[in-house]
Structures are given as C-alpha cells and as structure tokens.
Amino acid sequence: MLIDDLAAGLPADRLVRDPDVVGSFAHDEAEWAPYALPAVVVRPHTAEEVQAVVRACLEHRTPLVTRGAGTGLSGGANAVDGCVVLVTDRLTAIKEIDERERYAVVEPGVVNGDLRAACAGRGLWYPPDPASSPWSTIGGNVATNAGGVCCVKYGVTRDYVLGLQVVTGTGELVRLGRRTAKGVAGYDLTGLMVGSEGTLGVITEITVRLRPARAAERTVAGYFDTTVAAGQAAAAVAARGVLPSALELVDRHCLAAVDQWKNMGLSADANVVLLARTDSPGALGEHEAAEILDCFEQAGATWAAQSTDQAEADALFAARRLAYPALERLGPLLTEDVCVPTQAVPEMLARIDAAGRRHGVHIANVAHIGDGNLHPLLVTPAGDESARKNAQAAFEDIISDALDLGGTVTGEHGVGLLKQPGLARELGDGVLAMHRAVKHALDPHHILNPGKVFPEGTPA
C-alpha cells in the first residue's frame, strides 16, 4: 500500500495523516475550484526524500500534488482524489548567496520575502515581488512564473531562474540550467519547468539570478474618477516610452476593505488611485516622474502629485499588497488575471465595468496596470449560489473580452483549474496537442499534478 511504502522510506514525522491537518492542505486560495481530500500529506526535508516520494507515487501510480504556501489563486495546488500532497514547508534553506556572481541557491519552501530580506542584507536584490511575497514561496513562484509590482520594468520569475534541481516524472533527481550569466547548452528545460505548475517535475532547489540593490524610488500618485481614465493615464505612460519601476491601480473598494481591516487611515477621496514609481537615478528619475505626472494630469486626474511623504507612499503600496486578503474577508472572491496590450487597457477596463453591470456583480479592481495585467476581483456574498453563478458568467465574459483585445487569460497567476476553458480558447488545438505531447514525454505515467493547466487526454 502506498502509505506503508512512504512510511517505510521516510522518517516518521514526514507523514501527516491527521484528517484535520490533511484537510487543511486540500486546496489553495482559489475557493471556486474543485478539490478533493488527499490520501496523505508528506513534508520531506531533503531532495532525496522528495525523490523517494515521487518513486513511491510512480510505483503505485498515485497522483502527486506539490504545494508551497498555498497562496495560489487558480487552483493549481488543489488536491485530486486520493493523491499525495507534497508540502515544501520543511525545505526552507537559503543554501548560498554569491555576492560576486550575484545568484542565490534556495530550497523551494523559502518564502519570497525572506529571500528578498537576506539579499538586501548583502546589497543585492531579488526583484520578483508578487503581492503574496510575505507568505508565498520561491518554489510556488517558480511553478506559476509569478509576477509582481516591479515586473513592469524588471520582468517576471522566469527572467531570474538560472537553474533548478528537479525530480523528474520518471523519478530521477537532475540538475537543469546553469550558474553562468549565459548558456545555450541544450533545450531550455529550466524555462519549461518555470510556470508548469508542478505538472512536469518536482522542484527541489532553485538558483536565482540577483541584481545589485537599487537606488531609492520616487513615487507619483494620482486620483481618478473612473478606472477607464486611470487606464488612459497608464496607456499614455507606456506610449511615451517611460519605464516606471511600478505602475499600480487600486480602487476605492480595495482601499476601503484594507482600511476597514487595518485602520491605515487611507484616503477615500478618490474612486481610483494610480501609484507609480521610478527608480532611475538623478535627473532621469526626475524627468520620468515629471512625465508620469503629466500623463496623469492629461488623462484627467482629479489630483496628482509626486509624493514628498515616503510613509504615505509606502502605506498606499502596502494597501495595494493587502487588497486581496482584505477583500477575501468580505466573501468568496473570483480573481481574474487577464493581461492585455497596454493601449487596450482603457477599453478592457470599460468592458470589465460593463460585465459587472450586465451580470449584477460587484467588481473591485487592482492591477499591475503598467503591463496591462488586470485583476478584477469578483466579490460574492458567502452562500449566495445565484450571485456565484452571475460571477462565473461575468468571469467568462471578461476572459472573452481579454482574448478579443489580443490579451491572455492569465498574466501571472497560472492556469490551474479556473482558467482551463479560457486556455483552450487562447491556445487552440494544435498548441494544446504540443502541450499534451510534452507532458507525456516528461511525465509518462501522468502522476504529476494531473488534470492541472489543461485536460490531458491522450497525446496525439
């Protein structure tokens, strides 16, 4: 029996069988996606223990779902019936930070914020900063190719992953990638693993590229009456060729929810707030801040200014980061993650408003608006099945609109379970067939997070 084999191959404290605890690992933060109870939860302490778990699952043809902190928003870490859930919360070593070569080697369970703090102490910077950075893990960030606030200038997780150690779908422990600045030795299997949501291998170690710590940022804030006007301001910034180090949207629903929770004394004067930053040094930074301010004013900001109060600016960014958990306290959230071309952002925001009105759904908005990545949050009263159906209908409409405008169904959260219908429409049959072929090649027994990202079916 699987559990006996796992117990025989691992120290006793690695297995969790208490039903209450097992139940707490049944799903991530995508409350809308289906999930089941795992047969058992395992918490390996080493790569070799991870390998033992994969081999036991192979032996018994048991599905294996790997998860970090469970902060995913698409159901990618939701358990499937009778599966093993492998939790990385005992794999938390920062093994190495090389200041001269500027890379770090970490285990997958290291929390994003902990790595960033460790780097900051050495004058280094790990840029990817999802809103979940105080809780989410580097392993989970890699599995979903997480984005964040600074991506608009500095790129996403994939841009920082140099190498991985992985247990493959055939139970081998291998190293992919490199530690050098450049390298083209064979296929980019490292990049293929990034964003594959645990369906192609189980990550046991990650080597990330670091940057030198950067200069202090300047903040520009603007208030707008509508999301569309704010979208026009963001599109104007992109069109001028200014590269802000952050360009975020947060609306008054989110600010109110955060304020209600944390009593931060946030302004309620604006319907929509845009928060921009530039980290360019000296005169260039001044010039960029002035350009951004001009874009805000031209687009009809009711108020806009370069912040002279660092504490106030930090509070606004903190509120942006807390928007999701704050709203989640008010009822189940269905979270979109569409990404559209920057010039299509105003139209996309108008269509989101229209979808909310059409289906009678309350939609709050936060967005990494500088790269067109929008997170309309569809809020429903708990237990209201009719509201839930309306929200689902609005969700599908928003996805259609994003595809219609040349966008994608997921900018940074991953496909998981929630975005599979949209994914099939975005990719088409030919590209889905390639996905199935690659999945079958690297996970021939289909044990790795089966049913996630796309329905597997039979490879062509």
Contacts with its own copies in 270-289 (CB under 8 A)?
280-284
Tell me phi and psi for residue 389, to 5 degrees.
-65, -40
* Closer of 316 and 367 to its own copies (Cβ): 367
Nearest CB to its own copies, comparing residues 280 and 380: 280
CA distance 254 to 228: 17
When binding is defined by CB under 8 A, the residue of 340, 361, 417, 418 that contacts its own copies is: 340
User: With respect to its own copies, which residue has the nearer C-beta, 360 or 444?
Assistant: 444
Q: What is the DSSP string of 363-422?
A: EEEEEEGGGTEEEEEEE--TT-HHHHHHHHHHHHHHHHHHHHTT-BSBSSS--TTTTHHH
Which one, 83 or 442, has the nearer CB to its own copies?
Answer: 442
The Cα-based distances of 224 to 233, 249, 305, 349 in angstroms read: 9, 10, 12, 13
158 lies in the site for its own copies, by CB under 8 A: yes
Torsion of CA 143, 110, 34, 39, to 10 degrees: 110
Region of 52-60, 310-318, 387-395, 408-416 interacting with its own copies (CB under 8 A) = 408-416
Closer residue to its own copies (CB): 342 or 365? 342
Task: Look at residues 108, 111, 90, 112 and name the one whose alpha carbon lies nearest to residue 45.
Answer: 90
Residue 412 touches its own copies, criterion: CB under 8 A? yes
- Which part of the chain contacts its own copies (CB under 8 A), choosing from 49-57, 190-198, 289-297, 376-384? 190-198
Q: Is 343 in the site for its own copies (CB under 8 A)?
A: yes
Euclidean distance between CA atoms 407 and 62, whole angstroms: 36
Interface stretch with its own copies, choices 59-67, 256-264, 325-333, 416-424 (CB under 8 A): 416-424
Residue (326 or 409) nearer to its own copies, CB: 409
Nearer to its own copies, 16 or 150 (CB): 150
Tokens 């958990």 correspond to what residue?
325
- Taking CA atoms, 203 is separated from 167, 195, 354, in Å, by 6, 12, 42
Closest CA to 6 of 65, 47, 58: 58
331 is an interface residue for its own copies by CB under 8 A: no
Q: Which range, of 110-118, 248-256, 266-274, 423-431, touches its own copies by CB under 8 A?
A: 423-431
Q: Cβ 416 to its own copies, closest distance in Å?
A: 10
Nearest distance from residue 200's CB to its own copies, in Å? 8
> Judged by CB under 8 A, does residue 114 bind its own copies?
no
Q: How far is the CB of 151 from its own copies (least distance, A)?
A: 6
Exactly one of 243, 264, 305, 393 binds its own copies (CB under 8 A); that residue is: 243
Determine contact, residues 64/447, Cβ cutoff 8 Å: yes
Please say which residue, 223 or 454, places its beta carbon nearer to its own copies.
Answer: 454
For residue 84, what are its two tokens?
């093993």
Assign 428 to helix, strand or coil: helix
Using the minimum distance from each CB to its own copies, give the nearer residue, 27 or 153.
153
Q: Checking DSSP bridges between strand 201-209 and strand 124-125, what pairing results, if any?
A: unpaired
Number of residues lying near its own copies (CB under 8 A): 91
Q: Show the beta-strand stretches assigned E in 88-186.
A: 94-98, 103-106, 124-125, 161-168, 173-177
Taking CB under 8 A as the rule, does residue 120 contact its own copies?
no
Using the rule CB under 8 A, give the single segment among 14-22, 307-315, 322-330, 433-441 that binds its own copies.
433-441
Quick one: which segment of 84-92, 291-299, 321-329, 438-446 binds its own copies (CB under 8 A)?
438-446
User: 40 to 99, contacts with its own copies by CB under 8 A?
Assistant: 99
Cβ–Cβ < 8 Å for 251, 297: no
246 binds its own copies (CB under 8 A): no
Strands in 272-394 per DSSP E: 272-278, 303-306, 333-335, 362-368, 373-379
Looking at beta carbons only, is 168 or 307 nearer to its own copies?
168
Instruction: Return d(Cα 419, Cα 439) in angstroms, integer.
Output: 18
In the complex, least distance from residue 286 CB atom to its own copies, rounded to whole angstroms: 10
Q: How far is the CB of 178 from its own copies (least distance, A)?
A: 5
Q: Check residue 341 for interaction with its own copies (CB under 8 A).
A: yes
**Residues 194-223 close enough to bind its own copies by CB under 8 A:** 194-196, 200, 212
Q: Which residues contact 121 (CB under 8 A, 6 or more apart)?
A: none
Distance CA 177, CA 167 (A): 14
CB-based contact 355:378 (threshold 8 Å): no
Taking CB under 8 A as the binding criterion, the range among 252-260, 263-271, 312-320, 412-420 that sits at the site for its own copies is 412-420
Per the structure block, which two tokens stand in for 20?
A: 């209450």
